[in-house]
Amino acid sequence: MSERNTVPCKKLMEYNFYARKLMEYNFYARKLMAYNFMHGKLAVNRSRNFQMLKRKVLQYREVQAMKDFYVQRKMHWGEAAVGWNRPTESYFRQPLDHFNRQNNATYNQRYWVNEEHWKHPQGPVFLYIGGESSLSEFSVRAGEHVELAQSHGALLVALEHRYYGNSINKDGLTNEGIRFLSSQQALADLASFHRFISEKYSLTRNNTWICFGGSYPGSLSAWFRLKFPHLVFAAVASSAPVRAELDFVGYNKVVAESLSDPVVGGSPKCLDAVAESFRTVDQMLQAGNISQLEKDFCSCEALQGIEDYTEFVGNLADIFMGTVQYNGEISSRNIGSICETMTNASLGSSYRRLVTINQEYLQSMAQPCVQNSYQKTLEELRNTSLSLVGVGERQWIFQTCTEFGYYQTCEGGSCPFSRLLTLRSQLDLCLQLFGILAEHVQEAVLFTNEYYGADRPKASRVLFVNGDIDPWHALSVLHNQSHSELAIYINGTAHCANMGSSKPLDPPALKQAKEEIAHYIGEWLKAAKKQHLED
């Protein structure tokens, strides 16, 4: 860190020394518990702040799933379960390229099975689909789909996505090796997995398959039903951005609407303060007041040119974008708390309140400063060594470049953040990392929508579930498309809110949505049984 930044951030660094020690203690305590009792693996935008928040959310979900496990069984923390067989973690061999049988290369794909609730031999099969991060056994141990499995006597299976977690070859992240990462290959993996599980457990057509997924796996869930209707009878697609979009201006439009929504603790005054604070930051960048920004926002290093400036404002925007997307998942990070700070006149100008927001974020993440170096980001993303836990950042960026776009920009009038967050700045990463030109990214997005049908997929027995606070709902299906292609839109909820285990304090709208989902699952299973009898 540069010398001029050391003094202003000294108190923050002292705080974070102790915060890091506490986090280290909690991390290893949780890791030890997971190893001793469940063998679980704690899952540890381009900008660093969003990725840190996403990793923290994944960790929180793992811990919460562990707690839910003990609560459901009325057990004390760490107590060994009696008469219960832990879900099995296994691997099976998959073709690396399903569409070229002359390519004999393979990889080992990880999966989990939980037979605890299965009414053998004719109970249904509930498939949990993995996405852009590693999976753990909690994928078949906790969550809405597990509660539904308990009700319907289902066999629970979960498949980790190719190229994420442990489901990757050693050379998988090289530019040559990563080319077999795509949603089409992932769907073919699911079809192959269906055959594998059916043979392993002697399943027949009487064993009805229903698949579940959230976010990108939510799209995969809908697409699996769309492309393989003979394999899976129905699908639940939560927070599924099924419409690919190069310039995803709608993301920050929803963020702005959420920051001004009183239902979740926002207000128009909060949104105005956020927008004003970022205008001040942009003005200071244009005026060359770089050293003041470095000092006020605890930049780890001096900002060197426009690419670092873009990284800097991206990290600031991430605090708000991530808070909205995961609103309420972590108690200390929600729209209400962030708006309370941004509307607190006693803190000074809107700019000073933004400084406070950044400091609070760094404290919550136990970080002494913000890494705003574009070159360091490139170095990290060019690293092809494997990380078998957490979010696969290089892999996901590759998929955005070759299939989806999803670039969250701020060039429109409704965006409250910096105008440096341009489409060009994000497309440059595709070229820098993978040699993919901007026009090829656009072509890939158009193909994805042609291939899957965008937000008019014309599938049947697919239930799309979205929350109005979640920015990704802008790319999903929000209204019933037919009598069997249905949508549930939940007021006041964020990304994948319906997928967690039921809680007494769930808001009424969420409880009602879960009841509707359970109703449709029950109806689908009745329809499948009737169909089997007629056949």
Characterize 416-441 residue by residue with b for buried, 16 or more Cβ atoms within 10 angstroms of its Cβ, and e for exposed.
bbbebbbbebbbbbbeebbebebebb
Catalytic status, residue 215: yes
Encode 66-79: b = buried (16+ Cβ within 10 Å), e = exposed. bebbeeeeeeeeee
- Cβ neighbours, 10 Å, residue 479: 10
0.85 exceeded by pTM: yes
d(CA 159, CA 196): 12
Compute the average pLDDT of residues 434-439.
97
**Given this model, what pLDDT does residue 19 score?**
44
CA distance 368 to 381: 22
Q: Which of 133, 167, 470, 501 is catalytic?
A: 470
CA–CA dist 248, 54 (Å, integer): 19
Average pLDDT score, the chain: 88
Q: Which fold has domain 88-244+454-534?
A: Rossmann fold (3.40.50)
Instruction: Measure Cα distances from 181 to 284, 358, 396, 429 in Å.
Output: 42, 36, 9, 18
Q: Given 136, 296, 495, 501, which residue is catalytic?
A: 495
- Dihedral sign for Cα atoms in the order 424, 430, 432, 437: negative
Residue of 472, 489, 491 whose CA lies nearest to 480: 489
Cβ pair 201, 222 in contact under 8 A: no
The verdict on whether omega for the bond into residue 268 sits within 30 degrees of 0, i.e. cis, is no
**pLDDT band, residue 278 (cuts 50/70/90):** very high
* Chain segment 386-426, per-residue pLDDT in tens: 876 667 899 999 999 999 999 999 997 889 999 999 999 99
Residue 512 has pLDDT above 60, yes or no: yes
Closest CA to 51 of 465, 499, 370, 474: 370
Residue 515's contacts (CB-CB under 8 Å, 6 or more residues apart) are: none
Q: Is 533 exposed, middle or buried (0-12, 13-18, 19+ CB in 10 A)?
A: exposed
Q: What pLDDT, on a 0 to 100 scale, did the predictor assign at position 413?
A: 82
Contacts of 501 (CB under 8 A, 6+ apart): 64, 65, 68, 72, 142, 143, 144, 146, 147
pLDDT-above-90 percentage for the chain: 76
Span 4-54, pLDDT tens digits: 343 356 555 544 444 444 444 343 333 333 333 333 332 225 566 666 666
Domain ranges of the chain: 88-244+454-534, 246-449
Sequence-distant (≥ 6) Cβ neighbours of residue 250 within 8 angstroms: 471, 474, 475
Catalytic-labelled residue, pool 136, 215, 221, 425:
215
d(CA 279, CA 135) in angstroms, rounded, equals 40
The Cα–Cα gap between 11 and 347 comes to 18
Contact 131, 122 (CB under 8 A): no
Specify which residues 128 forms β-bridges with.
158, 212
Both tokens assigned to 481: 């498309």
The pLDDT tens digits for 211-247 are 999 999 999 999 999 999 999 999 999 999 999 999 9
Specify the DSSP class assigned to residue 498: G
SS3 301: coil
CB 101 within 8 A of CB 131: no
Tell me the C-alpha distance between 223 and 237, whole Å.
9
Report the relative pairing of strands 106-114 and 155-159 from DSSP bridges.
antiparallel
